[in-house]
Amino acid sequence: KMPHNFWCYSDCVTYLPTEMRDKLRKWREDNSRNSEQIVDVGEELINEHSSKLGDDIWIIYEQVMIAALDCSRDDLAHTCLQELRRQFPDSHRVKRLTGMRLEALERKTQQPKNPPAARKRKISILKALGKSAEAIRELNEYLEQFVGDQEAWHELSELYINEHDYGKAAFCLEELMMTNPHNHLYCEQYAEVKYTQGGLENLELSRKYFAQALRLNNRNMRALFGFYMSASHIAASPKVSAKVKKDNMKYAAWAATQINKAYRLAGRGTKENKCSVKAVEEMLESMQITMS
């Protein structure tokens, strides 16, 4: 075990607890700010010889705590503070020390300026802890600075969807569609959000964006199904004019043909998929009934 007074280890002198205690007192009286030495001596004194210190222990806890903050030894500062709080629960002096520790901690988290990767990690942690509201707030702040970060916009849209805040999710997806007009996935996801929001206007919007997604990628099955479902619902709505109903029935019929085609193509040669094909045909037939 290394002697505690490593700063003069060449002497290889070990101090007695009484000597350590006297050193600490001297440093207190001189108001020396040799925090590292104080931490070194004080920590050993507290851990190994606390029983020998009598009532001095409390002032030593205070002295060591302050020095520990200086050396970024929050663990030690916390231990000392806990002992003091236990012994002097209502002490104003102890409250002041608590404040000192919090200030030191705050200074640490504020500098250096958090680089983007660290901020994103923080957001992931908030998410993992279930603190969705905070994660959302942080992500919004982050996006004010890094407005072009698509991954972040997408992440935010997902957070909003999980919180059932579809309006704000739509806003994020609108940002993404603006900057990525050829991305069929964003169109399709936006359409899904609008559909979920419900109401005739949103259904019509969703149908338009499902259609757009299909234009960008005619093999996007979600877009095809979505187009079919939204058109079907519009056609079945009692609030629409005869013309709108007729148009949407046409759209739905077209989509149904495409869906059937896609399933037949996929099911070619496989026995198992026959049930899927049949199920789809029946589903489409039953929806036709509800529409007319």
Partner 1 sequence: MPIQLTSQAYCKMLLHAAKYPHCAVNGLMVAEKSKDKKKDGHGEPVLCVDCVPLFHGTLSLSPMLEVALTLIDTWCKENKYVMAGYYQANERTKDTRPNQFAEKVAARISEHHSEAAIVMVDNSRLTTSCYEPIIHIYDHSENKWKIREVTQECFEDWSEAQKITSALLEGRSYENLIDFDNHLDDLRNDWTNPVINKSVLDLC
Residues that bind partner 1 (CB under 8 A): 127-130, 158, 161-162, 164, 191-193, 195-196, 198, 206, 221-222, 225-226, 229-230, 262-263, 265-267, 270, 272-273, 275-276, 278-280, 282-283, 286-287
Strands in 203-273 per DSSP E: none
Closer to partner 1 at the Cβ: 57 or 193?
193
User: Rounded to an integer, what distance in angstroms lies between the CA atom of residue 241 and that of residue 219?
Assistant: 31
Least gap, CB of 267 to partner 1 (angstroms)? 8
Closer to partner 1 at the Cβ: 102 or 279?
279
Least gap, CB of 156 to partner 1 (angstroms)? 12
Closer to partner 1 at the Cβ: 143 or 221?
221
Angle 92-110/74-87 helices, nearest 10 degrees?
Answer: 160
Least gap, CB of 47 to partner 1 (angstroms)? 35
Cβ–Cβ < 8 Å for 263, 280: yes
Closer to partner 1 at the Cβ: 68 or 161?
161
User: Rounded to an integer, what distance in angstroms lies between the CA atom of residue 181 and that of residue 196?
Assistant: 22
Closer to partner 1 at the Cβ: 61 or 190?
190
Q: ∠ CA(94), CA(98), CA(101), 5° rounding?
A: 135
Closer to partner 1 at the Cβ: 36 or 285?
285
Least gap, CB of 198 to partner 1 (angstroms)? 8
| Chain CA centroid to CA 264, Å | 43
Instruction: To the nearest 10°, report the CA torsion of 198, 204, 210, 211.
Output: 170
- Respond yes or no on whether the N-terminal peptide bond of residue 112 is cis (omega within 30° of 0): yes
Closer to partner 1 at the Cβ: 18 or 124?
124
Backbone angles phi, psi at 72, to 5 degrees: 55, 30
Closer to partner 1 at the Cβ: 150 or 286?
286
User: Rounded to an integer, what distance in angstroms lies between the CA atom of residue 281 and that of residue 266?
Assistant: 14
Neighbours of 95 (CB within 10 A): 12
Provide the token pair at 130: 């279930």
Of 83, 55, 54, 56, nearest in space to 68 by CA: 83
User: Rounded to an integer, what distance in angstroms lies between the CA atom of residue 64 and that of residue 47?
Assistant: 12
Least gap, CB of 34 to partner 1 (angstroms)? 46
Backbone angles phi, psi at 185, to 5 degrees: -70, -40
